[in-house]
Amino acid sequence: MPYLSCVSCSKKIELGPQSRCECGEPLEVHYECLKPPARIAEEANFIIRNMNIFPLTKLKPELSLGEGSTPLLSANYLKDEIGLKEFYLKNETVNPTWSFKDRGTSLGIQAAIKFDFQCIGTVSSGNMAASISAYASKAGLAAYVFVQDNIPEEKLRSIAIYGVSLYRGVGDYSELYNNALTLGEEHNIFFVSSDNPFRVEGQKTIAYEIFDQLNYESLDFIIMPVSSGGNMAAVIKACEEMEAMCLIKRAPIVIGVQAAGCSPIATAVAIGKNKIEHFGQPNTVAFAISNPYPPSGNRVLNKVKEGRASVVSISEKEILTAQLELARKEGLFVQPAGAISVAAARRLMSTGILKPEHKVAAILTGGGLKDTNILTTHSLEIGTVPVNKLELVLR
């Protein structure tokens, strides 16, 4: 039987709607026995395909919006440019609301229904807000969505279209997260924020899919953006599970990447801290990963100490350069936060952490259309020509 266990004090709790232990650290799902998921080619529905690695029974596959089964693309240009023999891009931008969040939301909705909630909620910098709103609409649940007060207006409108109760949370983002959990307990709202155990279980399918698409061949590194730490913890958890089931011989090292303008986990790693500290006011173009006090930060630090992971930070210039490269060389328009993993691959190669013979997968987390304001920072040329003189453009 699955159960919940604290990632810090190891206290065991019966499977239920709780998301954090009394000690303040996250809970995660543990299993007495796991069986591999179905292969992607054999089962299209996300819920049905992953039932063996999910903790809930009697799930509702009809509530899926088609999440998962995202492409794993060989980076034909970038692998040569960076100097890697094998470099893959896991394109999460093609999920229903254009980000990896849909995986966690899909199972989070199932958990809300399983535990008899009529209302679901989240705290978000934008991507999770859109995801929760879409899936709540599909499931017929009321949704309460709290976003950072400085969220771009274009993102607000793409959330409000679903008809949810949408609020700007004025103040510190980490306070917003904690206050929302208290609100949920008082008003019976199931919050699927950040490192909710069921959200983590849904998001771990990214790693399962990467290995399925590689036919469970070896992989040296997975590089991915990290903000709250929940998604990175999910990917590490999946790799550990696959290793335990002997689906893979050895789990890859998972490298989380933060923007230098908001890097609380990377800073703690760099100076050897045992606990993360509040970063202060974020200042980065990678808005989607600008959590100054990530609720799963200490959880990630523990995995770094175990040798399972590492976390680095990347400059604004490197992020924007990677965004352009992905669009112009690989045909993929992603958010700055999504491009950060490719920027890190180039940096890690230059510092010798990555070597030409390494096999690497980078996760592209969100689509570029979610953050079009960033386009003003690039020098993009757009010409004009009279319609009756089109031949002029070729001269």
Give, as one character, the DSSP assignment of residue 166: E
Position with higher pLDDT, 179 vs 216: 216
Q: Which DSSP string do the residues of 226-276 spell out, in sequence order?
A: -SSSHHHHHHHHHHHHHHHTTSSSSPPEEEEEEETTB-HHHHHHHHT-SS-
User: Rounded to an integer, what distance in angstroms lies between the CA atom of residue 140 and that of residue 125?
Assistant: 23
Task: Identify the structural domains of the chain with CATH numbers, from first to last.
Answer: 72-98+199-377 (3.40.50.1100)
Residue 169 has pLDDT above 90, yes or no: no
**Secondary structure letter of residue 10 according to DSSP:** -
Query: Would you say residue 121 has pLDDT above 80?
Result: yes
State the pLDDT at residue 393: 62
Percent of the chain predicted with pLDDT > 70: 98
| Residue 353 φ then ψ, to 5° | -70, -45
Q: What pLDDT band is residue 373 in, cutting at 50, 70 and 90?
A: confident
Instruction: Please enumerate in sequence order all residues whose Cβ is within 8 A of that of 94, keeping only pairs 6 or more positions apart, or say none.
Output: 70, 71, 367
Measured in whole angstroms, the distance separating CA 98 from the mean position of its chain's CA atoms is 11
151: pLDDT confidence band, cut at 50, 70 and 90?
confident
Lowest-confidence range among 20-34, 72-86, 156-170, 350-364? 156-170
Residue 173 has pLDDT above 80, yes or no: no
Average pLDDT over residues 244-256: 98
Residues shown for the chain: 395
Q: Please say if the pLDDT value at position 305 is more than 80.
A: yes
pLDDT of 394: 61
* Least confident window among 115-119, 279-283, 304-308, 361-365: 279-283
Mean pLDDT of the chain: 94
Per-residue confidence (pLDDT) for residue 395, from 0 to 100: 60
- Structure confidence at residue 392 as a pLDDT band (50, 70, 90): low
- Does residue 220 have a pLDDT over 90? yes
Helices (H), 166-229: 173-187, 197-203, 205-213
In what side-by-side order are the strands of the sheet with 221-225?
A: 72-74, 86-91, 359-364, 221-225, 253-259, 309-314
258 forms bridges with which residues in the sheet? 313
pLDDT of 389 > 80? The answer is no
Q: Work out the average pLDDT over 142-148.
A: 92
Please tell me the predicted confidence (pLDDT) of residue 252: 98
The first and second tokens of residue 29, run together, are: 């799902």
- Condensed to tens digits (0 to 9), the pLDDT of residues 333-343 reads 999 999 999 99
